[in-house]
Amino acid sequence: MNAERHEDLAALAALDLLTTAEQAEFTVALAHHLELATLAASLRSTAAELAHIAPVAEPPADLKIRLLNSIAIQAKTARATLAQSPRLAILPFPTWIGFATAACFACLAAYFAQAYFNESALNSAFRDQQTLADLSLRSTKNQLAAERLITQRELADAVKRASDSAALITTLESRLAETKQQLFAQGTIADYKIATLASLLGNSSQAGAVAVWNPASQEGVLTVQKLPALAADKDYQLWVVDPQYSIPVDGGVFKVDPATGEGRLIFHPNRPVKTVAKFAVSLERKGGVPKAEGPMVLIGP
Amino acid sequence: MPLMLSSHLSSYISWPSPVHGLEPARVFPRMKTEQIADFSHARHEADARLLGLVAAGDSAALGELYDRFSRPLYATALRILNDPGEAQDIVHDAFVSVWEKASSFETTRGTAFSWVLTLTRNRAIDRLRSRRRRHELLETSTPSDLGLDENTSGPAANLAASTSDQASTLRAAVAALPADQQRALKLAFFSGLTQEEIAARLETPLGTIKARIRRGLLKLRDQLANRL
C-alpha cells in the first residue's frame, strides 16, 4: 500500500467517511504502519477545526446549568445505587415480586434466545449441507466431464486402431489372395510326383535316388545316395521321360560326394514336361549330352 | 483535590476561560510563529489535562471544558441539524457522554477537542440521517447542506457571523483552499452524507472526491500549523 492510499484512508477516517471495507483496510494498515496513526491523529485534529467555520452560534446559558444538573443527578443516582446494593438481601415483599417478575422475563428471554440460536444453528447446518451438496454436485459434474473427455479420446483411439486393423486385414487378405494364387500356380502337394529310382549297376546295387517333381512349377529335386564316385571327365545326367517326346528330356548334370556317393540336384528340364513317365540317371561325359549315350545307372519308378 | 488541580491548570495556561475564541497573537501580541505553535500545543495539552480531570470525576473540570468547547460544538450541531433545540440536545448528550467516557480518551488519537467534536458530530449526523429516513426530505431538511454559502437563510444564518479571531483564522485557511476542495470538505464535515452520496451530489467521480478530501485536509493541516 502506498503513502497516498494511507493518506486517503486517514483523511476519510478523520471525517468518519470510511466504508466498512475501507475501515477494515485501515485497521490492518494501522497495525503495520505506526506512522499512519500519527497521520490519522493529525488529520482528525485538523478536521475537527472545521467546526470553527460553522456560523458562530452561542448556546443558551441554561444549557450549561442543565448539563451540570444532569451530571449531578447521575452522580447522585450512582451513589444511591451503590448505597442501596448491600440492602438487596432484605428487600420488602413487593420489591421481591418485581425482581421475580424480572427474573421470569429474563428466563423467558433466555429461552427464546436459546430457541433462536438453535434455529440459527439448524439453519446454518442446512446451509452448510447445501453448500457441501453443491460442492459435491460440482465435483461430480467435473468428474463426469473429465471421464467424457477420456472416453472420447479412447473412442477415437479405438476407431483409429479399428481403421488400422481393417487396413491390415485388407493387406493380409491381399497377401493371402496372392499366396493362394501362387499356391494355385504352384499346384498342391497332391499334384507332386514322387518317384524312387532303383540301381541298374551290378557293382552298386544299393545305389538309389528319390525324385520329387512339381508339374505346376516345372521344377524338381533329385536326391541320390551310394552312387559310385565319378571319374574326372564324367558327370551323372538326369533324364525325364515324357511320352510326348521321342527322346527323354534333359534334367541337368550333377556330381556326388566321392566318399558317400550322395548328391542333390534341383532340376528344371530344358523342355516343358507334361507328364512324367519315368526318371532316369545315366553316366555321361563331363558337362552332359543332349541325348543319352552312356550307361543308365538309375531308373524309376 | 480535583478542583485545586483544575484551578492550578487555569493559572498554568494563563488565559481566561473560554479561550477558544481568542487568537494567541492577541493574547500575546509579541509572540513569534514558533511561540504561536507552542501556544497551540499548550492549548491542546491543557484540554487533554482537563479531560483527564473529568475522567477522575471532576465536574468543575467538565464545566471548564464546556466553556472552552461548547460554542464550536453547538455551532457545528446547529449547522448540521439546522434546529437550535436539537442542537442543544446533541451538545448536552455529548457532554454527558464526555463525563461518562472521558477515561477512554487517548491523546495519541487526536486532540481532546477533536474527540469531543467527534462525539457531538456523530450524534448530530445520526439524528440527521434518522430524520432523513423518516421524512425523506433531504433537500428541504437541511437547505445549507451543500455548505457553499455560509449566508443562506435559516435559523443558523440568522446568528451573528463569526467574530472569533480563531474562527477567522480557520475561515482564512479554508478559503485558501481550491474551491472544489472546500466544497468536498464542507459537505463531508457538515452534510452527514457518505462518500458516494457526496460524489453523486457534486456529480464527480468517487475517486476524485476522495482525492479532494485528502488534499484539502493535508493543505489545511499545513496551513493551520503555520497560522496557529
Q: What pLDDT, on the 0 to 100 scale, is given for residue A13?
A: 93
Element (H, E) at B85: helix B84-101
Q: What pLDDT, on the 0 to 100 scale, is given for residue B2?
A: 36
Tell me which residue in A44, A46, A55 faces B162 most closely, judged by beta carbons: A55
Element (H, E) at A221: strand A219-225
Say whether B113 and A48 touch across the interface (CB within 8 A).
Answer: yes
The predicted complex's ipTM stands at 0.74
Contact B106, B52 (CB under 8 A): no
B41/chain A closest Cα distance in angstroms: 12
A48 chain-B contacts, CB cut-off 8 A: 110-111, 113-114, 117-118
Q: What is the residue-averaged pLDDT of chain B?
A: 75
- Does A19 contact chain B (CB < 8 Å)? yes
Contact B120, B73 (CB under 8 A): yes
pLDDT category of residue B36 using cuts at 50, 70 and 90: very low
Instruction: Report the C-alpha gap between A31 and A254 in whole angstroms.
Output: 113
B1-142: CATH topology is: Rna Polymerase Sigma Factor; Chain: A (1.10.1740)
Residue B112 sits at the vertex; the CA angle it makes with B110 and B118, to the nearest 5 degrees, is: 75
Tell me which residue in A16, A70, A75 faces B92 most closely, judged by beta carbons: A70
- Does A61 contact chain B (CB < 8 Å)? no
| Cell 442543565 sits on residue | A66
**A79, pLDDT greater than 80:** no
Contact B5, B55 (CB under 8 A): no
B76 chain-A contacts, CB cut-off 8 A: 51, 54
pLDDT category of residue B155 using cuts at 50, 70 and 90: very low
Mean pLDDT for B202-220 is 94
Q: How confident is the model over B109-122, as pLDDT tens digits?
A: 889 999 999 999 99
Mean pLDDT for B180-203 is 92
% of chain A with per-residue pLDDT over 70: 92
DSSP state letter for B23: -
- Does B113 contact chain A (CB < 8 Å)? yes
Mean pLDDT for B79-90 is 93
Cite the DSSP H helix spans in chain A: 3-14, 20-32, 34-48, 61-84, 93-186
| Cell 478530501 sits on residue | B213
pLDDT category of residue B96 using cuts at 50, 70 and 90: very high
Tell me which residue in B72, B92, B194 faces A66 most closely, judged by beta carbons: B92
B149-228: CATH topology is: Arc Repressor Mutant, subunit A (1.10.10)
Mean pLDDT for A107-112 is 86
B157 chain-A contacts, CB cut-off 8 A: 55
Sketch the domain layout of chain B as residue ranges: 1-142, 149-228
% of chain A with per-residue pLDDT over 90: 39
Mean pLDDT for A254-275 is 92
Mean pLDDT for B171-190 is 92
- Does B39 contact chain A (CB < 8 Å)? no
Q: Look at A213-217, B17-21, B32-36, B216-220 and tell me which has the smallest mean pLDDT.
A: B17-21
Mean pLDDT for A201-208 is 83
Q: What pLDDT, on the 0 to 100 scale, is given for residue B139?
A: 52
